[in-house]
Amino acid sequence: MSPGDQATTRDGAPLANRHAVVTGGGRGIGAAVAAELARLGADITIMGRDAETLRRRREALSGECGGQVFDVVVDVTDGAAVARAFEWADNMLGPVEILVNNAGAAASAPFARTDPELWRSMIEVNLTGPFLCCRAALPSMIERGWGRIVNIASTAGVTGYAYVSAYCAAKHGVVGLTRALARELARKGVTVNAVCPGYTDTDMAEAAVRNIVETTGRDEAAARAELVRSNPQGRLVDPAEVARTVGWLALPGTDAVTGQAVVVAGGEVMP
C-alpha cells in the first residue's frame, strides 16, 4: 500500500501524520495556508527570513491545532541554506510530503527603470526559490510515491500587468515550472499545481496601495479602489480563500489534478 492510500487520520483529519512545509509562512497567504493545512491535520514547518515573525506564528498555530509546528529561518534564494533547512525539517518531522512554495516579493517600476538588480531579485525570490525548494523536497516524495507541490504564483503568472515586468516574468516562470514538473512526475504519485491569486488582502496589497499613493498622488481610498477595480466582485481576495484552494489541492484523492494554474481572483482572469 502506498502512502497515498493509507487512511491514518488524527480525529478524521485527512492530512494527519503528513509533513507540510510552507515557505513565507509567517504572514499573509503563507500564514493562512499553514493554518489551513494544520486544520486538515498536517504537521507543519513554516519557513521564512524573519525569526520573530516565524516564532509568533508558530506559537499561535501550535495553540490552534493538534499537530506539531516548527519554524526555521531560511533565505529561499540560497541553495545551501535551503538544503540545510529541509534536512533539519526532515529530521524533526520526517520526510516532506506537501510543499507550498509561497515565499515571494513584488517590486514595481516602468520597464525603462527596471535595472538588472531589480530583475535578478524578482527572479531569484519568486522563481529560483521554488526551484531550490522543489529540488530539496522531491527526492523523498518520489521515493515514497506520494507528494503534493503547490506553487503560489499570481494572476501575474497568467496575464500581463504594466510596471511589473520582472514580477510577471518570474510568476510566468513559476507557472511554466509547475507545468513541466507535473508532466515529468505524472507517473510518480506527485502532483504539482499553481495557485494564482489576484490582489489579496495582505501586506503586499498594502504596499501596492502605498506605491500608488506615492507615484500618483491619489489618496489611500482612491488607491485601494484602483486595486479592487480589476476584480469583478469588487473586493480584495481573502487569504483564507487562497488557503482553502491550496488545502484542497493537497488532499488525498486529487491525484488527477496536476499541472493546473488555479486562479483565485473573483473572475478577473479566466485562463
- We report the CATH number of the domain holding residue 251 as 3.40.50.720
Backbone angles phi, psi at 43, to 5 degrees: -85, 140
User: How does 66-99 read in b/e, with b if 16+ C-beta sit within 10 Å?
Assistant: ebebbbbbbbbbeeebbeebbeebbeebebbbbb
* pLDDT greater than 90 at residue 227: no
Question: Is pLDDT at 257 greater than 80 in this prediction?
Answer: yes
Are residues 143 and 20 part of one domain?
yes
Same domain, yes or no: 217 and 248: no
Q: Which pLDDT band, with edges at 50, 70 and 90, does 220 fall under?
A: confident
CA 5/CA 21 separation, integer angstroms: 21
Burial 244-255 (b: 16+ CB within 10 A, else e): bbbbbbbeeeee
* pLDDT-wise least confident of 49-58, 213-222, 249-258: 213-222
Q: Average pLDDT in the 76-91 region?
A: 98
Over range 221-236, report the average pLDDT: 84
Task: Tell me how many domains the chain contains.
Answer: 2
DSSP 196: E
Structural element, H or E, at residue 21: strand 19-23
Q: Check whether residue 220 and residue 248 sit in a common domain.
A: no
Of 161, 163, 167, 199, the catalytic one is 167
Pairing state between β 190-197 and 147-152: parallel
> Is position 268 within any domain?
no
Q: Which residues contact 243 (CB under 8 A, 6 or more apart)?
A: 29, 32, 33, 35, 36
**Is residue 123 very low, low, confident or very high in pLDDT (cuts 50, 70, 90)?**
very high
Q: Is 57 within the bounds of a domain?
A: yes
> Do residues 78 and 144 both lie within one domain?
yes
For residue 204, pLDDT beyond 80:
no
In the chain, pLDDT over 90 holds for what percent of residues? Answer: 81
Residues 205 and 251 in one domain: no
Residue 150 and residue 228 in one domain: no
Block residue for cell numbers 479592487 = 228
pLDDT digits (tens, 9 = 90+) for 140-186: 999 999 999 999 999 999 999 999 999 999 999 999 999 999 999 99
Range of the domain at 214: 201-236
Both 182 and 71 in one domain: the answer is yes
170 and 218 assigned to the same domain: no
> What local confidence, expressed as pLDDT, does residue 11 receive?
62
Confidence of residue 5 (pLDDT cuts 50, 70, 90): very low
Does 9 reside within a domain?
no
> Residue 215 — pLDDT band, cuts 50, 70, 90?
confident
Statement to judge: residues 70 and 139 lie in one domain: yes
Please, which pLDDT band fits residue 10 given cuts at 50, 70 and 90? low
On whether residue 269 sits in a domain, the answer given is no
144 within a domain of the structure (yes/no): yes
| Model pLDDT, residue 196 | 98
What DSSP designation does 24 have? T
Q: Are residues 113 and 62 located together in one domain of the fold?
A: yes
* 121 and 207 assigned to the same domain: no
Contacts of 72 (CB under 8 A, 6+ apart): 45, 46, 47, 54, 85, 88, 89
Name the DSSP letter for residue 122.
H
Are 189 and 231 in the same domain?
no
Per DSSP, 164 falls in state B
pLDDT at 119 over 80: yes
Mean pLDDT of 251-260: 97
Average pLDDT, the chain: 92
Q: Is residue 167 annotated as a catalytic residue, yes or no?
A: yes
Lowest mean pLDDT among 27-36, 211-220, 236-245, 253-262: 211-220
pLDDT at position 4 is 40
Lowest average pLDDT, out of 14-28, 122-136, 185-199, 210-224, goes to 210-224
Q: What is the DSSP letter of 125?
A: I
Confidence of residue 24 (pLDDT cuts 50, 70, 90): very high
